[in-house]
């Protein structure tokens, strides 16, 4: 716990902010009209806090394949965009856990605003000491979180513990690239001290060491780089969108995004996607 508390203190300087949900709702209504409904679809440009936004969430959800009867864990849920999306689109229940109190508060407010409180629950806590009894969840996923976690074996041991036998874990992570460190700051870290990018092959080792069997493990770097380039070209032609994560992360998001684009182009970042299963 000492370790996770220290890490939270460090991440606080990068992530922390207040009034996130109110700012998001105000931006949405300024753009779409005062009476516009607060739905997962309407929030989608703003509340999926990873490269490629809801496009990436859709891909991860397809890998996870949750059913209406499932209880799903979102490890490092941020402000809850993917959790709300997956609950709304599949009919499942989702519990999201995140280290940042301000993110948990925003996630809960937006869960209430979208009318999903009966199926989406947000818990403040660490991926390294999940506050759930063993075998609690049918499925779990984690999207762009591992890069903040130094002790990755502990993160995957915990995910394994809280899954039911036969349960699956879907992951999408940025990884270290062959050409040296990324250009900082990036969306998950202000500088190198907050960033723990796994080397190629590390995820496989960590999953196997935790007891998982690996159903798929894909290097998605080229796919992500290409779709991001297309998004970037569209932005260059049409200008920056009014609704994006900069609404609550601040104007610094544009620099973070540029640094991810550059780092991917230069081979300083990779992307790995995996589906692992806790054996019966």
Ligand X SMILES: C[S@@+](CC[C@H](N)C(=O)[O-])C[C@H]1O[C@@H](n2cnc3c(N)ncnc32)[C@H](O)[C@@H]1O
User: For 183, phi and psi rounded to 5 degrees?
Assistant: -80, 120
Q: Draw the binding track, 131-170, toward ligand X (x: CB under 6 A; -: no contact).
A: ------------xxx--xx---------------------
Cα→Cα distances 237→230, 231, 241, Å: 11, 10, 11
Decide if residue 82 touches ligand X (CB under 6 A): yes
User: Smallest distance from the beta carbon of 103 to ligand X, in angstroms?
Assistant: 5
Decide if residue 84 touches ligand X (CB under 6 A): no
Q: Are 74 and 97 in contact (CB under 8 A)?
A: yes
* DSSP sequence for 110-153: HHHHTT-TTTEEEEE--TTS-SS-TT-EEEEEEES-GGG-S-HH
> Out of 59, 70, 98, 109, which residue is the one contacting ligand X (CB under 6 A)?
98
Residue number with CB closer to ligand X (103 or 156): 103
Region from 22-30, 35-43, 70-78, 85-93 binding ligand X, contact rule CB under 6 A = 70-78
User: Smallest distance from the beta carbon of 235 to ligand X, in angstroms?
Assistant: 20
Residue number with CB closer to ligand X (76 or 177): 76
Decide if residue 85 touches ligand X (CB under 6 A): no
User: Smallest distance from the beta carbon of 43 to ligand X, in angstroms?
Assistant: 11
User: Smallest distance from the beta carbon of 142 to ligand X, in angstroms?
Assistant: 7
Decide if residue 15 touches ligand X (CB under 6 A): yes
Q: Are 50 and 220 in contact (CB under 8 A)?
A: no
DSSP code at position 80 = S
Q: Give the position of tokens 């199926």.
A: 119
Region class of 218: left (phi > 0), else alpha (psi between -120 and 50), else beta = beta
Residue number with CB closer to ligand X (182 or 279): 182
> Out of 160, 188, 248, 261, which residue is the one contacting ligand X (CB under 6 A)?
188
Q: Give the position of tokens 């806090």.
A: 49
Decide if residue 270 touches ligand X (CB under 6 A): no
Identify which of 96, 106, 174, 173 has the alpha carbon closest to the alpha carbon of residue 130. Answer: 96
d(CA 95, CA 75): 9
Residues forming contacts to ligand X in the complex (CB under 6 A) are 4, 7, 11, 15, 48-50, 76-78, 81-82, 97-100, 103, 126-128, 143-145, 148-149, 187-188
């Amino acid at each position: 716990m000492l370790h996770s508390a220290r890490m939270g203190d460090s991440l606080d300087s990068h992530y922390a902010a207040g009034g996130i949900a109110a700012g998001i709702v105000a931006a949405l209504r300024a753009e779409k009209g005062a009476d516009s409904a607060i739905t997962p679809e309407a929030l989608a440009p703003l509340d999926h806090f990873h490269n490629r936004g809801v496009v990436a969430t859709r891909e991860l959800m397809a890998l996870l394949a949750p059913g209406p009867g499932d209880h799903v864990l979102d490890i490092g849920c941020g402000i809850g965009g993917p959790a709300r999306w997956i609950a709304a689109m599949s009919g499942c229940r989702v519990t999201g856990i995140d280290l940042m109190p301000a993110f948990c508060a925003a996630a809960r407010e937006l869960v209430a605003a979208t009318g999903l409180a009966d199926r989406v629950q947000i818990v403040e806590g660490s991926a390294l000491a999940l506050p759930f009894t063993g075998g609690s969840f049918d499925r779990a996923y984690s999207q762009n979180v591992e890069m903040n976690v130094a002790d990755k074996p502990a993160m995957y041991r915990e995910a394994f513990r809280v899954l039911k036998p036969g349960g699956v874990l879907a992951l999408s992570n940025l990884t270290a690239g062959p050409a040296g460190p990324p250009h900082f700051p990036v969306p998950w870290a202000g500088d190198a001290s907050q960033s723990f990018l796994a080397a190629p092959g590390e995820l496989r080792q960590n999953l196997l060491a935790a007891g998982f069997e690996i159903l798929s493990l894909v290097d998605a770097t080229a796919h992500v780089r290409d779709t991001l380039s297309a998004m970037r070209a569209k932005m260059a032609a049409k200008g920056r969108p009014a609704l994006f994560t900069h609404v609550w992360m601040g104007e610094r998001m544009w620099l973070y995004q540029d640094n991810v684009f550059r780092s991917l182009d230069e081979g300083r970042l990779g992307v790995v996607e995996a589906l692992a299963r806790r054996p019966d």
